[in-house]
Chains A and B, each alone.
Chain A
Amino acid sequence: MSVLKPTGAIEFVNVTLEVEGRRFLEGIDLKIPAGQTVAVCGQADSGKSFILRLLQGLPGMQKEDKVRLWGDIVVDGESIYDLNESSLRQVRRRMGVVMRQGGLIDNMDIGHNITLPLVYHEGSDLATEEVEKRCQHVVASLGITHLLKPGLRPVMLNREEKLLVALARAWIVDPYLLLADDPVNGLGEAVARRFIAQFCQCPAGVCTRIVGASRLGPLLESIERFLLLDNGELIELGDAEAVRKSHHPWVSAELGCQTAAF
Chain B
Amino acid sequence: MVLLRDFVLGLGKNFVEMATNAWRLFAFSVEVVIALGYFLGRQGFRAAFRVTTQQVYFTGLEAMPFLGLLSLLLGFTVIAQSLPQLQGVGAHALIGQILVISIVRELGPIITAMVVITRSGTAMAAQMATNRITGEVEALEGMGIDVYHYLVVPRVLGCMLSLFCMIVYFDVIALIGGFLVASTRLTMPFSLYVQYIFDSLSPLDLYLSLSKGLLFGGVIALFSCYHGLRARRAAFEIPMVARSGVIQSMFFVFVSSALISALFYWI
User: Does any Cβ of A come within 8 Å of B142's Cβ?
Assistant: yes
Q: Which of B43, B44, B135, B230 contacts A60 (CB 8 A)?
A: B135
Task: For A128, give the chain B residue with the smallest CB separation.
Answer: B46
Contact A89 B146 (CB under 8 A): yes
- Interface bits B210-232 vs A (CB < 8 Å: 1, else 0): 00000000000000000000101
User: Which residues of the partner chain A approach B127 to less than 8 Å between Cβ atoms?
Assistant: 107
| Min CB–CB distance B21 → chain A (angstroms) | 11
Contact A92 B143 (CB under 8 A): yes
User: Which residues of the partner chain B approach A62 to less than 8 Å between Cβ atoms?
Assistant: 230, 232
In this complex, how many residues of chain A approach chain B with their Cβ under 8 Å: the count is 34
User: Does any Cβ of A come within 8 Å of B137's Cβ?
Assistant: yes
User: Which residues of the partner chain B approach A99 to less than 8 Å between Cβ atoms?
Assistant: 135, 138-139, 142
A116 to B46, CA, bound (A): 10
State whether A123 and B142 are in contact (beta carbons under 8 Å apart), knowing that A60-B135, A103-B134, A106-B136 are contacts in the complex: no
Contact B145 A123 (CB under 8 A): no
User: Does any Cβ of A come within 8 Å of B249's Cβ?
Assistant: no
Q: Which of B45, B136, B137, B230 contacts A104 (CB 8 A)?
A: B136
| Min CB–CB distance A40 → chain B (angstroms) | 17
State whether A91 and B134 are in contact (beta carbons under 8 Å apart), knowing that A120-B43, A124-B43, A124-B45 are contacts in the complex: no
Q: Which of B24, B27, B143 contacts A97 (CB 8 A)?
A: B143
Contact B144 A117 (CB under 8 A): yes
| Min CB–CB distance A176 → chain B (angstroms) | 13
A106 to B134, CA, bound (A): 9
| Min CB–CB distance A233 → chain B (angstroms) | 26
Q: Which of A80-114 contact B (CB under 8 A)?
A: 88-93, 95, 97, 99-101, 103-107
Interface of B is mostly: helix
User: Does any Cβ of B come within 8 Å of A121's Cβ?
Assistant: yes
User: Which residues of the partner chain B approach A121 to less than 8 Å between Cβ atoms?
Assistant: 43-44, 144-145
A117 to B139, CA, bound (A): 10
State whether A89 and B47 are in contact (beta carbons under 8 Å apart), knowing that A99-B138, A99-B139, A103-B136 are contacts in the complex: no
Q: Which of B48, B137, B144, B232 contacts A89 (CB 8 A)?
A: B144
User: Does any Cβ of B come within 8 Å of A205's Cβ?
Assistant: no
User: Which residues of the partner chain A approach B24 to less than 8 Å between Cβ atoms?
Assistant: 63-64
A103 to B127, CA, bound (A): 14
Contact B47 A103 (CB under 8 A): no
User: Which residues of the partner chain A approach B46 to less than 8 Å between Cβ atoms?
Assistant: 119-120, 123-124
In this complex, how many residues of chain B approach chain A with their Cβ under 8 Å: the count is 28
User: Does any Cβ of A come within 8 Å of B130's Cβ?
Assistant: yes
User: Which residues of the partner chain A approach B48 to less than 8 Å between Cβ atoms?
Assistant: 120
User: Does any Cβ of B come within 8 Å of A221's Cβ?
Assistant: no
| Min CB–CB distance A74 → chain B (angstroms) | 19
A187 to B100, CA, bound (A): 64
User: Which residues of the partner chain A approach B134 to less than 8 Å between Cβ atoms?
Assistant: 101, 103, 106
Contact A60 B138 (CB under 8 A): yes
A89 to B140, CA, bound (A): 10
Q: Which of A92, A100, A104, A119 contacts B144 (CB 8 A)?
A: A92
Q: Which of B27, B145, B146 contacts A117 (CB 8 A)?
A: B145
User: Which residues of the partner chain A approach B137 to less than 8 Å between Cβ atoms?
Assistant: 60
A96 to B140, CA, bound (A): 11
| Min CB–CB distance B179 → chain A (angstroms) | 41
- Interface bits B243-256 vs A (CB < 8 Å: 1, else 0): 00000000000000
Contact A92 B142 (CB under 8 A): yes
User: Which residues of the partner chain A approach B139 to less than 8 Å between Cβ atoms?
Assistant: 97, 99, 103-105, 166
Task: For B46, give the chain A residue with the smallest CB separation.
Answer: A123
Contact B43 A59 (CB under 8 A): no
User: Does any Cβ of A come within 8 Å of B150's Cβ?
Assistant: yes
User: Which residues of the partner chain A approach B141 to less than 8 Å between Cβ atoms?
Assistant: 56, 59-60, 92
- Interface bits A44-63 vs B (CB < 8 Å: 1, else 0): 00000000000010011011
Q: Which of B45, B130, B131 contacts A123 (CB 8 A)?
A: B45
A119 to B48, CA, bound (A): 10
Q: A100, A106, A123: which has the most chain B beta carbons within 10 Å?
A: A123
Q: Which of A138-169 contact B (CB under 8 A)?
A: 166, 169
Contact A56 B142 (CB under 8 A): yes
7 smallest CB-CB distances across A and B, nearest first, come from: A60-B138, A103-B139, A59-B141, A123-B46, A92-B144, A93-B144, A120-B47
Seed contacts A56-B142, A103-B142, A166-B139; 6 additional CB < 8 Å A-B pairs: A97-B139, A101-B134, A105-B131, A106-B134, A124-B45, A169-B143
Can you report 24 residue pairs joining A to B where beta carbons are below 8 Å apart? A56-B141, A62-B230, A63-B27, A64-B24, A89-B144, A92-B142, A95-B142, A95-B143, A103-B135, A103-B136, A103-B142, A105-B131, A105-B139, A105-B140, A106-B134, A116-B145, A120-B43, A120-B48, A121-B144, A123-B43, A124-B43, A124-B46, A166-B139, A169-B143
